[in-house]
Amino acid sequence: MYLSSFTFTVVLLPVVLLCYYFLPERCKNGFLLLCSLLVYGWGNPARLLYPAAFLCFDYAVGLLLERWKQRKAPAAAVLAFSVVLQAFVLIQVRYAEQVKTNFLFPFGIAVYTLLGLGYLIGIYRSRHAAETDPQKLALYLLFFPVLYAGPLTDYAEFRKQLTSRQRSLAGLSEGLATFIRGLALKVVLADTFRYVFRELRQPAEMSMLTAWLTTLAFSMYLYFELFGYAEMARGLGKCFGFSLPENFSQPFFAPSVTAYLQRWNMTLSLWFQKNFRHFLFHERRSRGFRYLGLVLMWGLIGAWYGSKPQFLLWGITIGLLLLLERLVLSSFIRKRYVIGMLYTGIVLQFAWVLLFAENMADAAQIWRAMLGFGNGIADQYGVYFFTSYIALLLLGLYIATDLFRNITERLMRPGKLQAVWKPLIHGGLLLFSLASMLYGERVTGLFLKL
């Protein structure tokens, strides 16, 4: 069940919140786990087999790693085996999803695989101890707000919150507000951009305008979908008394690809840095080896996003761009903000094509069109969508900037007036989000299979 579905937003959410607030303290974690199982197993309880297997495996391996703390070699072997095994299952599941019809994708698998591996690597590197209470580990792996793309938390941090967290009216109100904002980002903005993107993706050759509009609509769609989900997760977390980290921080108009990615899916890149790059390619290694680690890390992030080979290529491209900036461009860009911004925007638009193209030939065709070698400068289709959606695209770009964030933060500060219109604005947003859900096509899936 997706958080942006009617089943969740309209039916389950009020029931869950109501029960949660009236249950005695000691039952709360158990209740959250039950809700998580319901959300993950919705539609097909058999899907729960995957998380159940992952949980048992991680729990047992965690205890084993704890016991073998002093024996590094066997512990490393067990850890390597776990990583390979879980990655293999993830790849298999994604492959099955592509070739089999009617395959019910166990959603969230990419997320709980990462969380589980992070947990095991954490024990191996003595960041935290192995969990002895399976319920706590289960809740960490399957905490339902983060089922689609996070934010990913550290086990040590999450466990602290599992045992002691504050429940307050302020938390509930802030949580609801954050959830509503996230929902609006997803169903109002992301879904509209998805519609524009899908309408513009015609089999016929594109004009330059259409190609740029397509990639722009896609990048905005992906951003607002992931950002919206992360905000919904943070909001739900707050309602239950958890404090989850921010996952996106207005990346658009960043002056370099490096700066852009520092604000893009932050907890994910942090996870790969902590558990992959700093683990295997740490500071003591040679410089060339560390650079290789950077490129490989982004390749892995790309592969985590999706199973098509273009995703891997996207990741490696990003890694190479980062390397290029670090070695050559950084001093040049730092002094020229506008040039840096334009360069980042344009280069990334070209990179996004890899994520949505059917294959490399398709991607090449879109790139050609973007450079003006396609079906002319503008065609009827492009002009129609440009005139219909320019206002919304500009609004989306504005919302994706720091400017908007600063204004909203200033407006949301507590005060006499805010106490009146802040609830009203959020109520309006909730109604408009419900209207958008009802108006749009049915929720049948999200772009990334995570």
Partner 1 sequence: MQENREHRRMVLVVVLIYLVILAGTARAFVPSAFPKPTIKTMFNGVWALQLESYLQEHLGAHDVLFQLKSRTDLLVGEKMIHGVYVTDERLLEKLLAEDVPSAAEAAAPVNTFYTETGLPTCFVLVPSASEIYETTLPANAVNAEQSTRIQQIYSEMHSGIRCVDAYNVLSSMKEDYIYYRTDTHWTNYGAYCVYQSAIQKMGFTPVPYQRYVISHLSTEFRGDLYARTLYDGVKADVLDLYSIEDGAEITEVLAYNGDSVPQDRSTMLYNESALESDDMYRFYLGNPAERLIIRTNLDNGKKLLLYKDGFADCMVPFLLQHYSEICVVDLELVGEDYLTMADPSEYTQALFLCSMSSWDALWG
Q: Which residues bind partner 1 (CB under 8 A)?
A: 1, 5-7, 10-11, 14, 42-46, 102, 104, 169-170, 172-174, 176-177, 180, 380-381, 383-384, 387-392, 414-416, 418-420, 422-424, 426-427, 430-432, 434-439, 442-444
Exposure letters 192-219 (e unless 16+ CB within 10 A, then b): bbbebbeebbeeebbbbbbbbbbbbbbb
Nearest distance from residue 445's CB to partner 1, in Å?
11
Nearest distance from residue 45's CB to partner 1, in Å?
7
**Closer of 48 and 296 to partner 1 (Cβ):** 48
CA gyration radius for the chain?
A: 22
Give the distance, in angstroms, between the CA of residue 376 and the centroid of all CA atoms in the same chain.
36
Nearest distance from residue 213's CB to partner 1, in Å?
13
Nearest distance from residue 298's CB to partner 1, in Å?
34
**Closer of 134 and 427 to partner 1 (Cβ):** 427
**Closer of 106 and 299 to partner 1 (Cβ):** 106
**Closer of 327 and 391 to partner 1 (Cβ):** 391
**Closer of 267 and 436 to partner 1 (Cβ):** 436
**How many Cβ atoms from other residues are within 10 Å of residue 76's Cβ?**
13
Task: Give first-to-last CA distance, the chain, whole Å.
Answer: 13
SS3 breakdown of the chain: % helix, strand, coil, rounded to 5? 75, 0, 25
**How many Cβ atoms from other residues are within 10 Å of residue 369's Cβ?**
23
Write the DSSP assignment of 225-268 as a string of letters.
HHHHHHHHHHHHHHHTT--PPP-----TT-SSHHHHHHTSSHHH
The answer to whether 5 and 443 have CB atoms below 8 angstroms apart is yes
Nearest distance from residue 414's CB to partner 1, in Å?
5
**Closer of 102 and 164 to partner 1 (Cβ):** 102
**Closer of 327 and 424 to partner 1 (Cβ):** 424
Nearest distance from residue 180's CB to partner 1, in Å?
7
Which residues, including other chains, have CB under 8 Å from residue 167's CB and lie 6 or more apart?
21, 240, 241
Distance of alpha carbon 6 from alpha carbon 77, whole angstroms? 45
**How many Cβ atoms from other residues are within 10 Å of residue 359's Cβ?**
10
Nearest distance from residue 206's CB to partner 1, in Å?
14
